[in-house]
Every structure is written in structure tokens, then in C-alpha cells.
Amino acid sequence: MKLKRMKGFKSFRTSWLMSNRHYIIPLLIVAIILDAGFALVFAVAAAVLWAVNKLRARLPIETRAKEPPQTIVYRKIGGAELKLDLYSPNPTVASTASGTATVVFAHGGGWISGARNQPNNISWCHFLVDRGFAVASIDYRFAYANKMADIIDDFSAAVDFIRVNADELLLPKPLILMGLSAGGHLALCHAAFNTIEQTTETAEAMRDIKAVVAYYSPSDLTDLFSTDDKSFFARFGAGTAMKSTPRFDEAAYDRFSPVNSLSVHMIPVLAVHGRNDEVVPYSSSVKLVRRLKEFKIPCRFLVHKSGGHGFEVRLKDYRTTMILEETVRFMRDICR
């Protein structure tokens, strides 16, 4: 019985405190009102648990890749320098693995947080490098002082920088756009927005890009405000980026939902999602895949039946490992 209680506590701590930690904010406000001393202890404890969780978050597969990346400024805008970390492919693997490409990797964080050098993102980069890919892990502006269009433009600028400078940086030319959560949304937007219309400009924007890999990403931003989504953080992030809610600006939400811009010219997509995602509804990826199939776009959908948001750095089970290896297989096959 004691073990059962401990297991239940661990499950509660992981699913609520860690995954939906942004609910701590209104609780902290209440605590301050009731007892300032208790509020301080509460805040410190929550911060420590959050930091420990972040520092421990990494993929469950050990890799040999440990080389530090080369940091490059890919864009200067509004007085800010936007940077990317460039990880060179493992030469031993890259020389034998067919379909090697450069992965443009965008972190998650609800368009309002996250960084390219978080442990979970570094873990992803090392994993991909170990499998023979080059990786450009990017940062982008946050939504507090910028709009969704600005953030997508940053992602596109990073893609353009990599493509233009690929030869000088000794990067393989096929590009794969990949992102986690909000980062996957940016990758989907770049691909969908630049394939729905066939022009010289859009053709250039998509040159050398072979596929999109989107891990637990919102394909329809209104899904973040549906009854399936209980995440205050997801709604706050989307509302901050869009400067409104679907109730007051439905047209804007439709415009920046990549599922609404798909066409027969869309490139192949790998969507990955956990059924128990507490931040981005699983149904959003179901909607994306269904729409891709309507247009007969090559796609794959990998599902973790018990996974939540960010499951690949929180779970150590066999299914998680298989999803990671299937992701690599998809990327290699698409670039053959």
C-alpha cells in the first residue's frame, strides 16, 4: 500500500507540477495573499523542482556525440542578435549512412520561452549528430514584444541562412525542418505557407527542403483553446503571440494555423504525438495527418499511447526508443 501511494505521488508530481507548472502562478498569488512566508517557501520549492526536472530532461538513448557546437549569429534585427548552434555530423556515421541531411531544429516553449541550449534540446542535437545528421539548433524572438508573423519570419531567416551558407559551413544540402511543440508549428508554417502558392519566391524558400518533423505541435491554434486542452500555459502562449484569442480574431488564428494552408504541393511530414498530451491536444496532430492524407501528401504518424507533452525526454520505455529510431529512419528515407 505504501508503494502504491508513492507511485501515485510521483505520477501526480510529474503530470501536474512539472508538465503544467504554469498553474503554479495563480496558486502563488493566492499563497502571497494568505501568507507571505509560506509563499516564499512555496516559490523556492517549485523553482528547485522545475530546475531539477529541466536539468535531467534528455533522450533515453546514449550517444557518442559530445563535441560542443559552433555558435553563429544568423540574424540581427531590432538590436537583437539571433543565434544558432551548429553541430557537425559524425564523420564516421555520415560517411556510411545514406540520406544524410542538415536538420534545422527549433525548440519549444509556447512561443514565449525555451532556448536552443536547454539540456533536452542539446540531447536531441547529439542524438541526430550521432545518427549522421548535421544540426542547426536555432533561437528566435519571443512573443512578448513580437507577433506570430515575426517569429515565423525568424525561423524562415534561419532556414535561408543555412541554405545560402551550406557550402561554406560544410553542411549537407538536403534540409529537414524539425521542431518540438511551438518549434514544430514554425516548421509546419514555413513549409505550408511556401507551398500553397507556386511562385519564384516560394520555390526559393523551399529549395533543398525535403520534409518536416513535428513533435507534439499544434497544427490548428484554436485547438489550444478547445475543451480538450486544460493548459493555461498553452493558451497564454498562443494569446501572447497572436495578441488576441480566437473569440476576438478567429481569422488570424485560421491564418496562422498550418493545417489550413496545406495543399497538394506540401512536402512530406512526420507527426509525433502522445495521446495523453496535457499541453497540445493529441487531436491537433490527428487533424493534421487526416488533412495531409486528403491531399495525398506522404506522411507518417507516430503515437505514444501513454505519452504526454515532451514524452521523449521524460519516458524511458521501449516505445519511446522506437519512436526516436523511426524518426531517424523517416529522415534518412526521405532524403535518399
pLDDT in tens, 190-226: 999 999 999 999 999 999 999 999 999 999 999 999 9
* Mean pLDDT value across the chain: 87
Can you tell me which residue has the cell 524572438? 141
Q: Is the pLDDT of residue 124 over 70?
A: yes
State the average pLDDT over residues 131-149: 97
Cα angle, residue 294 at apex, residues 288 and 299 outer, rounded to 5°: 55
Q: Taking Cα atoms as reference points, which of 120, 92, 126 lies closest to residue 107?
A: 120
* pLDDT on residue 112: 98
Residue 254 exposed, middle or buried by CB count within 10 Å (0-12, 13-18, 19+): middle
Query: Would you say residue 8 has pLDDT above 60?
Result: no
Choice among 24-38, 78-92, 176-190, 219-233 with the minimum mean pLDDT? 24-38
Average pLDDT over residues 92-104: 76
Distance between CA 41 and CA 47 in Å, rounded? 10
Query: Which of 139, 174, 144, 173 shows the shortest CA–CA distance to 154?
Result: 139
Phi then psi for residue 145, to 5 deg, are: -115, 10
CB atoms within 10 A of CB 244: 14
pLDDT average, residue stretch 84-108: 83
Average pLDDT of span 19-36: 59
Cut 0.95: pTM above it: no
Residue 1's pLDDT is 36
Q: Say if residues 156 and 75 touch (Cβ distance below 8 Å).
A: no
Angle at 311 between CA 222 and CA 13, to 5 degrees: 95
Q: Rounded to whole angstroms, how far apart are CA atoms 267 and 176?
A: 10
Choose between 251 and 93: higher pLDDT: 251
From 20-24, 155-159, 277-281, the region with the lowest mean pLDDT: 20-24
The pLDDT assigned to 3 comes to 36
Q: Name the residue with higher pLDDT: 321 or 99.
A: 321
Residue in 127, 155, 123 with CA at minimum distance from that of residue 139: 155
The pLDDT of residue 185 is 98
Let me know: does 319 contact 305? Beta carbons within 8 Å. yes
User: pLDDT for 225-257, tens place per residue?
Assistant: 998 788 999 999 999 999 999 999 999 999 999
